[in-house]
Amino acid sequence: MATEDVALAASAEQGILSKPDTHQQSPRSTIVNDFSIQIATVNGSGSQSANSVLLRSIFRMGIPVSGKNLFPSNIAGLPTWYTIRASKDGYVARKKEIDILIAMNAETSKEDMLSLPVGAAAIYEESADLKQFRNDVACYPVPFDKLTADVCPEAKLRKLVKNMIYVGVAAQLLQMDMQAVEAALRKQFAKKVKAADLNWAAVQAGYEYAAANFTKNDPFQLQPMNATEGKIIIDGNAAAALGCIFAGCTVVMWYPITPSSSLVENFIDLAKRYRIGPDGKATFAIVQAEDELAAIGAVLGAGWSGARSMTATSGPGISLMAEFAGLGYYAELPGVIFDVQRTGPSTGMPTRNQQGALLSVAYLSHGDTKHVMLIPGSVRECYEMAMDAFDLAEQLQTPIFVMSDLDLGMNNWMSEPFTYPEKPLNRGKVLSAEDLTRLGGFARYKDVDGDGIGYRTLPGTDHPLAAYFTRGSGHNEKALYTERPDDYVNNMERLSRKFDTARTLVPQAEIVQTGKSKIGLIAFGTSDFATRESRDQLLKEFNLDTDYLRIRAFPFSREIHEFVASHDRVYVIEQNRDAQMLSLLKLDLEAKDIVRLRSIRHFNGLPIDARSITDDLVTQEGI
């Protein structure tokens, strides 16, 4: 199948280390606000501040921008790359081609240089003499060490300050607004005025050096726009943490794992700031667990006793949580689990991106289990779906998984500001002592309302009929122990009904366009950005209009079935090898519709890009 070849080619791409791209760019015409910058550095060299200043300067100039950190599983010493994409059209997916290279890592600079397309530009340490490798790239050699020494007398700070030199050089070459750069820099260093002054001096030194020594020989330019006014920049993990705060989450138990740790760390910061009363007492409990088994155990224990509880993890942690996830399903316990997906296993590429846990999470654990997954496709949805997740967990009395990924969770994204939740917290069906007096008792697992969801009581409810015994599937409606076949079947069928109720409560799919084309695209999560860009490429370059639906949750809501049924061919675009979302769809769709599905996959560890989707689709369509 053609997909296989393209997928293989994509996996061989290895991002930055591929051979020169044949994609042509004319060096003469000017390219404004539409290119990518890659900063190649050494992990631990402190380039983060400089990269952030560069990104935020572009943002302040009103130009849509995105940034991605490609880093190794290492504290210091290994190569790392940061890519910034400026896009007047608002494309924020990874751009396959690098237009401007800032080569700060001697180890990789030759390969970095060789991977550039014709007509690209390179800023590099003078002594590396990268010009010898490419005469079709605009070269800007900079004596970084000398410039740094001039502005920074203190030797131990030079390693950090050196990075700011390239910000200045890039600012001059790209004709950036220096007021925006200074504002971004001063915000970055906030109250540390001395550090800000020192770094600003380095930026200026770089700027002046470039102005005095370079003749611009590349087409790239930044011009102010008005497309970022009122927007925020945030990463998905911070956004999700914010959602947890406004969802009233009270219990967190977690075990650190990249790329999810910063979600909880952000929550800790926010909780300390906003959830401690004037008497110093906390409305939250956060515990670092001994492992992920303990983390989910505590989440479910807390859910059982009435708390809004959560944990955050990634693939290997999910694997460890499997047994408890099953108990959570059968014993019907609320809890929220953020799965910030990455490539597996731990000794694989743990710091690279993948949408690789869909199948394992959807059916995590033993017996007949099915779990609700929410799939955010933006930082705003990380915030909103965090709140949805807590409501759904208590409404449905079951663990809810929020399927983010490394690209969304750890990278900075532009967004409209988040809005304050208007609805009160939905705490689900919980009976109070007064309810019990009125009702004369209750049966924990009885389907009173026909939606498969029973009524529960919380420990501590002051009524002699409040208590019930919680265990796995071996219970009847009254939560009494049973191994009777008919009781088991009744219970399992009720759980199925509950899952059908979930279909109607989870966030519906976003239909971007339908009814205009015979070809439909389905994507989700971070594949959305590249998919949107690819649709534009298909239309512009191949005159191919495509309909598009973005899945936002599992189980699938009605409109997903309708979308598939109303298209001849539906391409499911995802970032894993085994077409996991397509497999889930196959299990849910009618046989006549399954044959409409086709697959586009990208799983080399780098975030998916539009060109890969376009190329694959065009090949499969035989265009």
Partner 1 sequence: MATNPVPSAPLEAPRAAAKTNRIGLQVLDYRGGKTTLCAGCGHNAISERIIDAFYEMGVQPERVMKLSGIGCSSKSPAYFMSRSHSFNSVHGRMPSVATGALLGNHTMKALAVSGDGDSASIGIGQFVHLMRRNVPMIYIIEDNGVYGLTKGQFSATADIGSKLKTGVINDLPPIDTCTLAIQLGATFVGRSFSGDKKQLLAMLKAAIAHNGTVLLDVISPCVTFNDHEGSTKSYKYMQEHDEAIDEVGFVPFFQEIDVEYDPGTTINVEMHDGSQMRLRKLHEDFDPTDRVASIAAQLHAHANNEVLTGVFYINTQQPSFTEMLNLVDEPLGTLPDDRVRPGRAVLEEMMQRLM
**Where does this chain bind partner 1 (CB under 8 A)?**
230-234, 242, 245-251, 253, 274-275, 277, 280-285, 287, 289-291, 293-309, 323-324, 327, 331, 417-418, 420-421, 424-425, 457-464, 466-472, 481
Lookup result for tokens 């971007």? 512
Ramachandran quadrant class, 554 (left: phi over 0; alpha: psi -120 to 50; beta: rest): beta
Lookup result for tokens 């809810």? 400
CA distances from 491 to 332, 474, 573 (A): 11, 9, 36
What is the phi/psi pair of residue 275, to 5°? Answer: -125, 25
Tokens of 394: 């208590």
Which residue, 21 or 435, has its beta carbon nearer to partner 1? 435
**Nearest-approach distance from CB 284 to partner 1, in angstroms:** 7
Output the DSSP codes for 36-92: EEEEEEETTSS-HHHHHHHHHHHHHTT--EEEEEE--SSSSSSEEEEEEEEETT---
**Nearest-approach distance from CB 54 to partner 1, in angstroms:** 18
**Nearest-approach distance from CB 374 to partner 1, in angstroms:** 19
Which residue, 55 or 251, has its beta carbon nearer to partner 1? 251
250/275 Cα distance (integer angstroms): 9
Geometric angle at alpha carbon 108, from 157 and 344, rounded to 5°: 100
**Nearest-approach distance from CB 476 to partner 1, in angstroms:** 13
Which residue, 81 or 284, has its beta carbon nearer to partner 1? 284
Which residue, 39 or 379, has its beta carbon nearer to partner 1? 379
546/559 Cα distance (integer angstroms): 17
Which residue, 289 or 617, has its beta carbon nearer to partner 1? 289
The answer to whether residues 138 and 117 touch, using CB atoms and an 8 Å cutoff, is no
Burial class (CB in 10 A: 0-12, 13-18, 19+), 292: buried
**Nearest-approach distance from CB 230 to partner 1, in angstroms:** 7
Which residue, 179 or 213, has its beta carbon nearer to partner 1? 179
Output the DSSP codes for 489-511: HHHHHHHHHHHHHHHHHSPPPEE
Which residue, 426 or 583, has its beta carbon nearer to partner 1? 426
**Nearest-approach distance from CB 322 to partner 1, in angstroms:** 11
**Nearest-approach distance from CB 272 to partner 1, in angstroms:** 11
268/275 Cα distance (integer angstroms): 10
Which residue, 338 or 468, has its beta carbon nearer to partner 1? 468
Cα–chain-centroid distance for residue 158?
34
**Nearest-approach distance from CB 280 to partner 1, in angstroms:** 6
The answer to whether residues 252 and 311 touch, using CB atoms and an 8 Å cutoff, is yes
Three-state SS sequence of 159-197? HHHHHHHHHHHHHHHCCCCHHHHHHHHHHHHCCCHHHHH
**Nearest-approach distance from CB 279 to partner 1, in angstroms:** 8
**Nearest-approach distance from CB 90 to partner 1, in angstroms:** 18
Which residue, 247 or 357, has its beta carbon nearer to partner 1? 247
Return the CA Rg of the chain: 26
Residue whose C-alpha is closest to residue 427's, from 508, 311, 334: 334
Which residue, 149 or 480, has its beta carbon nearer to partner 1? 480
Burial class (CB in 10 A: 0-12, 13-18, 19+), 155: exposed
**Nearest-approach distance from CB 412 to partner 1, in angstroms:** 10
Ramachandran quadrant class, 605 (left: phi over 0; alpha: psi -120 to 50; beta: rest): left
Lookup result for tokens 């370059």? 541
- 139 SS3 class: strand
**Nearest-approach distance from CB 219 to partner 1, in angstroms:** 31
The answer to whether residues 583 and 359 touch, using CB atoms and an 8 Å cutoff, is yes
Which residue, 290 or 449, has its beta carbon nearer to partner 1? 290
**Nearest-approach distance from CB 77 to partner 1, in angstroms:** 32
CA distances from 352 to 349, 436, 541 (A): 6, 52, 31
Which residue, 297 or 605, has its beta carbon nearer to partner 1? 297
**Nearest-approach distance from CB 347 to partner 1, in angstroms:** 22
Which residue, 149 or 287, has its beta carbon nearer to partner 1? 287
Which residue, 286 or 512, has its beta carbon nearer to partner 1? 286
